[in-house]
């Protein structure tokens, strides 16, 4: 339990909030069942012969909260022997959700089903907080999920979580600014015509004026650093950690990693991108291009901006990768009825249910077949995001020490952008990660 308490503390410091545009317009704490109870205990409290299943998740948009109400009512009506309730916990601008999990972990009062952010799946699995889901989702089932979804939700060869939605990052551009600079639009249908690293840097230089910068590469100064910029390291031939997630020295501080960090710093150092971008910098015409997420599409469609989209920039040698990830459902160690919880997840994660969920939240679906039931994903920006998820999407590093890695990597990159030596900063990331893993996870 010592490692649980230690690393959950780091989790709160790391702030796993940002990466996928989650919780925008979130509501306050809500209970999506007809009857509430004061704690998260999984012990049955209903009539004899009825199994109670409790779900915890962070609050989401009003549309998603309404989806949960509708679906839980449908399930409970069709399955009188398994009654489901959900507690939505507010985590906007606070760590109430993580703190509640910490308390429940030590007291043994975790819910049956717990939603966690994708890169934290390994942490919860390694600490024995969640259990494998392989008996509920077969290999054939998983063939219908995005490869990056399965990758992110797997730890040590076993499936520990399942996500309904995904995310991706692409290059948005202001057509008027590119026209003014005499730069041809990058393709949104042929990745071979995407901007390479060299083109991205050179075009950002050409697009930078007294009135706007060439690009925006800073999604935020927390999780957004590793989420949005991490795949540049993948494209550059670098790895954050070893394949088994146990070691960072020789990986995050390799020559290829250092070279990639120095490449990214060229944007900041030369003034082609701002270290502290203004709010909605691209949307307001203060940046000519943007490394933006799938969640940006709706706002851009409502705007008057003359914009286009292309693939996440590819390495000069043609290697392509793109960011992915979203929240996922797990079954916890404290569940008294894991099979009933698994049965509910099988239903909730069906192709039809994922289609309606993804449509409600305006995110890419994790199931490939769900797109047959969703409108707007056959062309344009959404089709490009879907293509990236199917072809170039790579999950963030899978390791129980992820929160340490993410926090330290973000700090290191910000220091590099402020003028610090890339090798020294990445050496520190590797050192801190290896010490954490050695102390809490080495077998």
Tell me the pLDDT tens digit for each residue of 333-366: 999 999 999 999 999 999 999 999 999 999 999 9
Q: How far apart are CA 393 and CA 388, in angstroms?
A: 6
Phi, psi (5° rounding) for residue 429? -60, -45
Contacts of 283 (CB under 8 A, 6+ apart): 299, 300, 303, 305
| pTM tops 0.75 | yes
| 327 membership: H or E segment, kind and range | strand 327-332
Residue 93 is predicted with a pLDDT of: 56
Q: How far apart are CA 250 and CA 257, in angstroms?
A: 9
Q: How far apart are CA 122 and CA 228, in angstroms?
A: 20
Residue 23 is predicted with a pLDDT of: 46
**Class of the domain covering 2-167+325-391:** alpha beta
Tell me the pLDDT tens digit for each residue of 173-208: 999 999 999 999 999 999 999 999 999 999 999 999
Spell out the domain ranges in the chain: 2-167+325-391, 169-323+402-440
Lowest-confidence segment of 49-63, 85-99, 362-376, 399-413 by average pLDDT: 85-99
What is the per-residue DSSP string for 234-259? HHTT--SS-TTS---TTTTTSHHHHH
The rounded mean pLDDT for the chain is 92
Residue 96 is predicted with a pLDDT of: 83
For residue 310, what are its two tokens?
Answer: 């292309």
Instruction: Specify the DSSP class assigned to residue 395.
Output: P
Q: How far apart are CA 208 and CA 216, in angstroms?
A: 11
Q: How far apart are CA 123 and CA 125, in angstroms?
A: 5
Tell the CATH topology of 169-323+402-440: D-Maltodextrin-Binding Protein; domain 2 (3.40.190)
Q: Is the pLDDT of residue 328 over 50?
A: yes
Pick from 171, 323, 169: nearest CA to 235: 323
Pick from 295, 325, 289: nearest CA to 213: 289
Q: Is the pLDDT of residue 7 over 60?
A: no
Q: Is the pLDDT of residue 441 over 90?
A: yes
Q: Is the pLDDT of residue 226 over 60?
A: yes
Q: Is the pLDDT of residue 376 over 80?
A: yes
% pLDDT > 70, the chain: 89
Residue 60 is predicted with a pLDDT of: 86
- Give the side-chain half-sphere CA count within 13 A for 423: 2
Mean pLDDT on 287-307: 97
Tell me whether domains 2-167+325-391 and 169-323+402-440 share a fold.
yes
| 284 membership: H or E segment, kind and range | none
> How sure is the predictor about 21, in pLDDT bands with cuts at 50, 70 and 90?
low
E-assigned strand segments in 379-440: none
For residue 349, what are its two tokens?
Answer: 């994660």
């Amino acid at each position: 339990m010592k490692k649980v308490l230690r690393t959950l503390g780091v989790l709160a410091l790391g702030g796993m909030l940002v990466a996928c545009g989650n919780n925008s317009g979130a509501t306050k704490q809500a209970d999506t069942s007809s009857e509430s109870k004061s704690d998260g205990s999984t012990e049955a409290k209903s009539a004899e012969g009825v199994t109670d299943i409790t779900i915890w998740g962070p609050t989401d948009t009003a549309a998603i909260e309404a989806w949960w109400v509708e679906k839980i009512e449908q399930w409970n009506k069709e399955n009188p022997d398994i009654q489901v309730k959900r507690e939505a916990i507010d985590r906007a601008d606070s760590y109430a959700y993580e703190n509640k999990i910490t308390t429940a972990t030590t007291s043994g009062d975790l819910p049956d089903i717990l939603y966690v952010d994708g890169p934290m799946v390994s942490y919860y699995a390694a600490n024995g907080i969640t259990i494998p889901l392989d008996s509920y989702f077969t290999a054939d089932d998983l063939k219908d999920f995005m490869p990056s979804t399965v990758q992110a939700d797997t730890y040590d060869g076993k499936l520990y979580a399942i996500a309904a939605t995904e995310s991706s990052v692409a290059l948005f551009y202001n057509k008027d600014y590119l026209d003014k600079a005499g730069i041809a639009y990058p393709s949104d249908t042929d990745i071979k015509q995407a901007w390479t690293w060299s083109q991205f840097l050179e075009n950002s230089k050409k697009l930078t004026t007294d009135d706007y910068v060439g690009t925006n590469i800073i999604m935020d100064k927390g999780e957004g650093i590793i989420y949005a910029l991490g795949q540049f390291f993948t494209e550059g031939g670098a790895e954050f950690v070893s394949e088994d997630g146990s070691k960072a020295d020789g990986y995050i501080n390799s020559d290829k990693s250092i070279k990639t960090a120095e490449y990214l710093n060229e944007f900041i150092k030369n003034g082609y991108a701002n270290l502290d971008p203004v709010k909605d910098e691209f949307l307001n015409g203060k940046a000519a291009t943007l490394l933006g997420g799938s969640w940006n599409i709706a706002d851009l469609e409502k705007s008057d901006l003359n914009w286009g989209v292309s693939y996440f920039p590819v390495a000069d040698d043609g290697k392509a990768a793109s960011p992915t990830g979203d929240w996922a459902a797990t079954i916890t160690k404290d569940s008294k009825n894991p099979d009933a919880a698994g049965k509910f997840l099988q239903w909730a994660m069906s192709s039809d249910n994922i289609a309606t969920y993804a449509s409600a939240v305006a995110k890419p679906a994790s199931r490939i077949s769900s797109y047959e039931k969703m409108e707007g994903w056959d062309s344009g920006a959404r089709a490009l995001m879907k293509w990236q998820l199917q072809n170039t999407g790579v999950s963030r590093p899978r390791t129980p020490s992820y929160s340490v890695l993410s926090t330290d990597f973000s700090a290191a990159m910000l220091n590099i952008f402020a003028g610090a030596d890339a090798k020294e900063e990445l050496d520190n990331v590797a050192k801190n990660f290896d010490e954490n893993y050695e102390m809490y996870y080495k077998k």
